[in-house]
Amino acid sequence: MTISIDQAIIHEITQDSQGKLRCRLRPQPLLNSQAAEHMLEELHQIYTSKAGKGFGYFGVHGEDGEANSAFSDALTKYRDNELGFVEFSGQSSKLLQDELSKYDFSQGGFLLMACYTSITSDYLFVALLNAKSSMTVLDDMELTENNHLDLSNIQLAARIDLTELQAEPDSKKYISFIRGRAGRKVADFFLDFMGCVEGVNTKSQNKSLMNAVEDFVSGNELTKEESQQVREKVYDYCTERSDEGNDIDLKQLTEELSETGMDSFYDFANGGEYELDDAFPADKATLRQLKKFSGAGGGVSLSFDGNHLGDRVIYDPISNTIMIKGVPANLKDQLDRRLKGE
């Protein structure tokens, strides 16, 4: 086990025959410790590996500028032992029910709340889970339909780093959350019920880091191999931090780069117009551009490793063309068959 569970509970928000949402509250924490451990271990791994998470904090929320502090106030009372975990989770369920009642797209779900420790940090995990039906074969080879929690397709979840919240109450990133699908704001209600607002633009920070790395290698008159080595060193460090659930630390990254003789990166990144924080979450999709080039449009998609640029892949910006030397075997076979057929 990579986590140690303190408390966990599940409440249900259901829709009655009149279409109104109701809370069905569990009166005590989950008792089946083994099942709870397996479920939360799986959710912890799924959540940590989710790409493109957003980061925020408890703050001013909504168009009226009012602070929605009911959830954070209840959390503070729980941490100060003024509220028990069951009472805190019950209040949270009713807050979520009230928020959901403002919309006509939700039929509720199972609200999971869990306090657990991973490595050196204490977390509060909050997720609205849906049930999914599946078929099971019984001992007599008869089929039966069962409902189970759909853990692999989790879309509404947030995790509060309680250790960071206590140590750095002014931090803008102690809450992480799964972003909704592109162009959709259905998940916004989940942040509204907690009073969470976005504090760190992860993609922007990672894009600035990538720009700083590119400017850094170009300004140090490195060879192509040395430049690519720096890019890969940055990428490997950042992805490792992401996999561990930790932030990118610029000073620590500079120490990693010092092994390649690049020990001035921190000063370079702070001296430019990159507006980088000393620490920020990693975004793998953005950082992948350090190792790969990719793009799509007009019915054409292309992707190749960065070290092939100028070697197997020749780009001419004047004629807006790319020449590829050594066409991949499977693509060559398809092209040869098409030419032969024509």
Mean pLDDT of the chain: 86
Q: Which of 154, 177, 200 is the last residue of a domain?
A: 200
User: Residue 99's CB: how many other CB atoms inside 10 A?
Assistant: 20
Q: Which pLDDT tens digit goes with each residue over 200-245?
A: 888 889 999 999 999 988 888 788 888 888 898 999 999 988 888 7
In order, the DSSP letters of 208-222 are: HHHHHHHHHHHTTT-
At residue 122, the pLDDT reads: 95
Shared-domain flag, residues 108 and 223: no
24 and 83 in a common domain: yes
For 314, list phi and psi in degrees, rounded to 5: -110, 120
Both 171 and 298 in a single domain? no
Distance between CA 17 and CA 228 in Å, rounded?
Answer: 62
Whether residue 149 is found in the same domain as residue 218: no
Residue 208 φ then ψ, to 5°: -65, -40
Task: Give the integer Cα–Cα distance in Å for 206 and 198.
Answer: 16
- As to burial, measured by CB atoms within 10 angstroms (0-12 exposed, 13-18 middle, 19+ buried), residue 133 is exposed
Q: Are residues 175 and 81 part of one domain?
A: yes
Query: Are β-strands 300-305 and 313-316 bridged in parallel, bridged antiparallel, or unpaired?
Result: unpaired
The model's pTM is 0.77
Count Cβ atoms within 10 A of the Cβ of residue 116 and give its class: 0-12 exposed, 13-18 middle, 19 or more buried.
Answer: buried
Query: Does the structure show a pLDDT above 90 at 305?
Result: no
Give tens-digit pLDDT for 22-73: 899 999 999 878 888 999 999 999 998 887 788 999 985 444 444 468 999 9
Q: pLDDT exceeding 70 applies to what percent of the chain?
A: 94
With 60 as the cut, is the pLDDT of residue 185 above it? no
177 with 281, same domain?
A: no
Report the pLDDT value the prediction gives residue 65, as an integer from 0 to 100. Answer: 45
Structural domain boundaries enclosing 296: 292-341
74-105 residue pLDDT tens: 999 999 999 999 999 999 999 999 888 887 76
Q: How many helices and strands in the chain, by DSSP H and E? A: 11, 16
- Residues 277, 298: one domain? no
Same domain, yes or no, for 100 and 153? Answer: yes
CB atoms within 10 A of CB 136: 10
| Cα 309–Cα 312–Cα 315 angle in degrees, nearest 5 | 50
The answer to whether the CB of 230 falls within 8 A of the CB of 260 is yes
Distances (CA, A) of 193 to 59, 126, 160, 273: 12, 11, 14, 36
- Cα-only R_g, the chain: 25
Which has more pLDDT, 130 or 10?
A: 10
- 241 and 264 both lie in a single domain: yes
Residue 116, amino acid:
Y
Final residue in a domain of this structure, among 183, 200, 217:
200
- Please count the structural domains in the chain: 3
Assess whether 177 and 105 both reside in one domain.
Answer: yes
- Domain end, chosen from 200, 235, 261, is at 200
232 and 319 share one domain: no
pLDDT given for residue 200 in this prediction? 82
- Tell me what pLDDT residue 62 has: 47
